[in-house]
Structure 1
Amino acid sequence: MLEVGTKAPDFTLLNQNGEEISLSQYRGQKVILYFYPKDNTPGCTKQACGFAQLYPDFVKKGAVILGVSKDSVKSHKKFEEKYQLPFTLLSDPDLVAIQAYDVWKEKNMYGKKVMGVVRTTYLINEEGIIEKAYTKVKAAQNPNDMLEVLNASL
């Protein structure tokens, strides 16, 4: 996990509409950057829907939400449409941002060791500095927790 107080690594990835999005284009805004394992899985769906439900509150606070997984653009588009997600999902099949943010780790799945994305959320401030970093994120609780953190930092 990256250290609080360090500069957030920039990246350019494709969103659910196939458009290039760079982290640097959000300079001047707070960014909630969350990494999740896979579209349409129970935990990831709860997390995404939680962010969607609270989205107006994040917008009022001037924050942008970016969700990143290694799923394809097509998968992200279906996920967005199925749950009417109002924020940006970024496709990282080459693990560019996933590795830059140190969230590609060995995990234990049903007794077998596999590499995968560890659910992690970063709050990046207007200057592009990591303000908060959370691992061992509880998917359903993460959106509420991040809104509280955002409220406390304003």
Structure 2
Amino acid sequence: MTPVTGGPVAPGTRAPDFTMHSTPDQTVSLRDLRGRPVILAFYPADWSPVCGDQMALYNEILPEFQRFGAELLGISVDGVWCHLAFAQNRRLHFPLLADFEPKGAVARRYGVYREGDGTSERALFVLDADGIVRWSYVSPIGVNPGADGILRALEALATPRGRG
């Protein structure tokens, strides 16, 4: 196991802002998504079997995430052209963001960069409409974390108590 730099951003903390490329000529900024929940799905690499299965699962249940008004963002250290080919091959309908230049800068800010192999952990963050981390999970690198935790976190945000 390759240790992460620090530890993941803790629930209750404002999520570090970022702007990353989703295509060669388009960027996504976290600040522009304020007002709705955001799911950040960091994963090690396009084209690896577990990552492919994880992103395909999220694509399949994307309507469930959208039912909560949530925006899903996949993030890895792969470049934008690799992301485009991977997304097209897997028929993904959510943005994949390139944490490529400087490599892993956003993963480092979230405390989930793996120095030893230059990838990110398989880490999930659910942010509330104000950009506060409300739930996070770092999965063992070879294990698909599924979506149950994400859905429970979104359900908690949808209740009056979860918005506090």
TM-score under structure 2 length normalisation = 0.84
Residues 24-79 of structure 1 show CA distances to partners (whole Å, capped at 9, x for unaligned) of 11000100001100001111001100100000111111000001001010010011
**CA separation of 1:89/1:34 partners in 2, compared to 1, >3 Å: closer, same or farther?**
same
SS at match of 2:82: helix
1:135 and 2:138 matched: yes
Instruction: Give the equivalent residue in structure 1 for 2:126.
Output: 123
Please report how far the alpha carbon of residue 17 of structure 1 lies from its aligned counterpart in structure 2 after TM superposition.
Answer: 5.2
Measured in 1, the distance between the counterparts of 2:117 and 2:70 equals: 34
Residue type of the alignment partner of 1:125 = D
Aligned length: 148
Check the 8 A contact 1:18/1:73 in 2, yes or no.
no
Please report how far the alpha carbon of residue 135 of structure 1 lies from its aligned counterpart in structure 2 after TM superposition.
Answer: 0.9
TM-score under structure 1 length normalisation = 0.89
Moved over 6 A (4+): none
Structure 1 gap ranges (5+): 107-112
Residue type of the alignment partner of 1:67 = G
Please report how far the alpha carbon of residue 102 of structure 1 lies from its aligned counterpart in structure 2 after TM superposition.
Answer: 0.9
SS at match of 2:75: strand
CA RMSD of aligned residues (A): 1.6
Check the 8 A contact 1:46/1:139 in 2, yes or no.
no
2:68 maps to which of 61, 66, 76? 61
Matches within 5 A, 1:69-148: 69-93=76-100, 94=102, 95-106=104-115, 114-136=117-139, 139-148=143-152
Matches within 5 A, 1:17-28: 18-28=25-35
Residue type of the alignment partner of 1:148 = R
Residue type of the alignment partner of 2:132 = I
More strand by share: 1
SS at match of 1:135: strand
Please report how far the alpha carbon of residue 136 of structure 1 lies from its aligned counterpart in structure 2 after TM superposition.
Answer: 1.9
Please report how far the alpha carbon of residue 115 of structure 1 lies from its aligned counterpart in structure 2 after TM superposition.
Answer: 4.0
**CA separation of 1:117/1:70 partners in 2, compared to 1, >3 Å: closer, same or farther?**
same
